């Protein structure tokens, strides 16, 4: 079975203005719109395109988190995923835990490819894909901007500081999706209705032999400093004088 595993993380929608709780213990999520992590959405779109080319037989979406994550999994099913797996837990999920759970599922499902977003927009860790490849003992290609599947190999173009780099890796493998890999499709109402009938499995982390462990603790959250108003100057000389007064020139 040529199967692709895709991660789906529930995050605050990227259009929402983030507000920090008054006591600094986190960000306000009550009544806030939640969505699929944009990079995971791109990863899912790429998996669906690979399947539509006849190079894969099934796309499985996976989300780790509380019961509310099923909303995002239904979105993934509406986009075209064949089925979903929800690892339900209220524990804090760090990249290491997510990678271990994805590893167990990759082995259970016998996947040929695991595609994850390069990072989540809530913590920006950029670690899960790399950790998954290490645990799985399989090749990885990160920051992918183009993916081509050729038999038992994948040709991946990735974005690096110096430009573009092309890697040829053996499958099974792990690929992390970058912003320019594709543009996710728009979900239509008929697809949303069909998604309600697709299988969504709910399991506990213990069923996969993994116990979530919190290794890092956020001590305090602070909002970014407010921008000060700009200063109007009459001419270049006044601008230079003002910059010198601030020690900038």
Instruction: Write the pLDDT tens digit of every residue in 74-106.
Output: 999 999 999 999 999 999 899 999 999 999 999
- Overall domain count for the chain: 1
Q: Give mean pLDDT, residues 22-26.
A: 85
> What token pair was written down for 57?
């037989």
Q: What is the CATH number of the domain that holds 133?
A: 3.40.50.620
- Percent of the chain's residues with pLDDT above 90: 71
Q: What is the pLDDT of residues 145-189, one digit of tens each?
A: 999 999 899 999 998 888 899 999 999 999 999 999 999 999 989
User: Which residues are bridge partners to 61 per DSSP?
Assistant: 6, 84
Measured in whole angstroms, the distance separating CA 14 from the mean position of its chain's CA atoms is 12
Question: In this structure, how many other beta carbons lie within 10 angstroms of the beta carbon of residue 34?
Answer: 14
230 φ, ψ (degrees, to nearest 5): -75, 160
pLDDT of residue 39: 96
Domain that holds residue 24: 3-245
Q: Could you tell me the pLDDT band of residue 18, with boundaries at 50, 70 and 90?
A: confident
Predicted TM-score (pTM) of this structure:
0.86
At residue 182, the pLDDT reads 95
Strands annotated E in the chain: 3-7, 10-12, 34-36, 58-65, 83-88, 113-117, 140-150, 153-160, 163-170, 173-177, 200-203
Instruction: Measure CA 124 to chain center.
Output: 9
Q: What are phi and psi of 88, to 5 degrees?
A: -85, 125
């Amino acid at each position: 079975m040529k199967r692709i595993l895709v991660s789906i993380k529930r995050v605050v929608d990227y259009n929402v203005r983030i507000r920090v709780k008054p006591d600094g213990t986190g960000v306000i999520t009550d009544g806030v719109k939640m969505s699929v992590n944009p990079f995971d959405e791109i990863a899912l779109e790429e998996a669906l395109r690979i399947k539509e080319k006849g190079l894969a037989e099934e796309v499985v979406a996976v989300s780790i988190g509380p019961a509310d994550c099923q909303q995002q999994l239904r979105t993934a099913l509406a986009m075209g995923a064949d089925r979903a797996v929800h690892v339900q837990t209220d524990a804090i999920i760090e990249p290491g835990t997510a990678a271990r759970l994805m590893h167990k599922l990759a082995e259970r499902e016998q996947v040929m490819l695991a595609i994850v977003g390069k990072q989540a927009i809530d913590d920006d860790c950029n670690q899960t894909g790399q950790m998954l490849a290490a645990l799985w003992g399989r090749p990885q290609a990160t920051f992918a901007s183009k993916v081509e599947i050729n038999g038992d190999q994948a040709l991946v173009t990735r974005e690096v500081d110096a430009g573009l780099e092309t890697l040829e890796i053996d499958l099974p493998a792990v690929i992390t999706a970058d912003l320019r890999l594709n543009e996710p499709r728009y979900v239509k109402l008929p697809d949303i209705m069909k998604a309600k009938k697709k299988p969504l499995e709910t399991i506990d982390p213990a069923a996969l032999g993994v116990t979530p462990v919190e290794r890092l603790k956020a001590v305090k959250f602070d909002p970014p400093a407010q921008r000060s108003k700009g200063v109007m100057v009459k001419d270049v000389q006044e601008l230079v004088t003002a910059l010198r007064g601030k020690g900038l020139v």
